[in-house]
Amino acid sequence: MKVNGTHYRSLWWDAEKAALQIIDQRWLPHDFRVQQVDTLEDYAEAIVEMRVRGAPLIGATAAYGMALAARLDPSTAHLDKAWAFLDKTRPTAINLRWALNRCRTHLLALPEDQRAEAALRLAHEIADEDVEINRSIGLNGLEIIRKIADGKTNGEPVRLLTHCNAGWLATVDWGTATSPIYQAHDAGIPIHVWVDETRPRNQGALTSWELGSHGVPHTYITDNAGGHLMQHGLVDMVIVGTDRTTRRGDVCNKIGTYLKALAARANNVPFYVALPSPTIDWTVTDGVSEIPIEERSAREVTHIQGVNDAGEIVQVQVTPRGTPGGNPAFDVTPNHLVTGLITERGVCAATPEGLDGLFPEQARI
């Protein structure tokens, strides 16, 4: 998507420098900083520290990490070591494991002298595929928004609510939950987006920055406001992304998503999940008991972070010193609270049959 008139992806390969470039998202929305990733340690740090974040982007970054590993030493032992090193960076988003497995399987089937070139080609392929998947999710989600718009009188905007940042910054381009939003806006459908701030990391600020850059009308709200807005008929549709969705359609996403789904169900508001197929974990059925939930530093909760007038990142404590903080980063929304899954192949029910119908190659024997 565009930043000050220039089209950017959230990562790109600089062929001249033979190195990956990323947007260091810790500085957004205050500063747009590009960083070169040179070593495997840099790759791991970028993921752990959330310079890059969002399930699809973490996966694409890891694929470039495997490409670097193959260039440094294409032996099977080294690739296995790199796989394990990158795999342990973040536990919840399945795209990381998906990308690492895809790279490892592909490379180990090749002679060592072909692995470096093939690894870089595959990383490009994974990045390009992500863009295409998200574009298709956008087209499928656009039809849902269009239907809601058609049911409105006086050209009132369709009011959407989103949580976290499932935008182009969280993917390679387009975003998942934001792709239908961008496409509806570009198609001239009047929309307005309620953007949850998403404490503690405030990914909503990233979403606001994206939507603002694209001219999409939106309002930044506290995480606690959603239920109130739904109760007063001010939300037509909730749309969120996902970090891992199980084969029966349980949706793991940023902490707080579950509460939005409960409020949506209580107020008859449709709750949709934008789901790229690499985010489906076909090995897991029950999301609540089977998905590992990342526990991040308590400091993210006891302190708030921003940028001061001098442009430095600063943290301010909001609790009494020594207060213990708890920071589960994701939660699971059971499938019965999900109205539909918007995938690149179409929209389906959040059920085993719904997903098997769209992805028959994964269906149970």
The residues annotated as belonging to the active site are: 243
Q: To the nearest whole angstrom, how small is the minimum distance from the Cβ of residue 200 to ligand MRU?
A: 10
Single out the segment in contact with ligand MRU by CB under 6 A; choices: 26-34, 54-62, 64-72, 220-228.
54-62
Residue 69 · residue 116 · CB < 8 Å: no
Q: Between residue 322 and residue 341, which ones bind ligand MRU under the rule CB under 6 A?
A: 329
Q: Between residue 105 and residue 164, which ones bind ligand MRU under the rule CB under 6 A?
A: 164
Phi, psi of 357 (to 5 degrees): -65, -40
**Quick check: 243 binds ligand MRU (CB under 6 A)?**
yes
Q: Which of 61, 136, 140, 176 binds ligand MRU (CB under 6 A)?
A: 176
**Quick check: 254 binds ligand MRU (CB under 6 A)?**
yes
Q: To the nearest whole angstrom, how small is the minimum distance from the Cβ of residue 267 to ligand MRU?
A: 22
Query: Is the CB of 120 or the CB of 291 nearer to ligand MRU?
Result: 291
Query: Is the CB of 236 or the CB of 243 nearer to ligand MRU?
Result: 243
**Quick check: 169 binds ligand MRU (CB under 6 A)?**
no
Q: To the nearest whole angstrom, how small is the minimum distance from the Cβ of residue 123 to ligand MRU?
A: 19
- The 3 state secondary structure assigned to the chain is CEECCEECCCEEEECCCCEEEEECHHHCCCCCCEEEECCHHHHHHHHHCCCCCCHHHHHHHHHHHHHHHHHHCCCHHHHHHHHHHHHCCCCCCHHHHHHHHHHHHHHHCCCHHHHHHHHHHHHHHHHHHHHHHHHHHHHHHHHHHHHHHHCCCCCCCEEEEECCCCCHHHCCCCCCCHHHHHHHHHCCCCEEEEEECCCCCCHHHHHHHHHHHHCCCEEEECHHHHHHHHHCCCCCEEEECCCEEECCCCEEEECCHHHHHHHHHHCCCCEEEECCHHHEECCCCCHHHHCCCCECCCHHHHEEEEECCCCCEEEEECCCCCCCCCCECEEEECHHHCCEEEECCEEECCCHHHHHHHCHHHCCC
Q: Which of 10, 61, 171, 207 binds ligand MRU (CB under 6 A)?
A: 171
**Quick check: 203 binds ligand MRU (CB under 6 A)?**
yes
Query: Is the CB of 50 or the CB of 119 nearer to ligand MRU?
Result: 50
Q: Which of 363, 147, 362 is nearest to 236 (CA)?
A: 147
**Quick check: 226 binds ligand MRU (CB under 6 A)?**
no
Query: Is the CB of 55 or the CB of 342 nearer to ligand MRU?
Result: 55
Query: Is the CB of 55 or the CB of 66 nearer to ligand MRU?
Result: 55
- Closest residue to bound ligand MRU by CB: 241
Binding site as annotated, residues for substrate: 53-55, 90, 203, 253-254
Q: To the nearest whole angstrom, how small is the minimum distance from the Cβ of residue 96 to ligand MRU?
A: 10
Single out the segment in contact with ligand MRU by CB under 6 A; choices: 50-58, 122-130, 216-224, 284-292.
50-58
Residues forming contacts to ligand MRU in the complex (CB under 6 A) are 53-56, 93, 164, 166, 170-171, 175-176, 203, 241-243, 253-254, 329
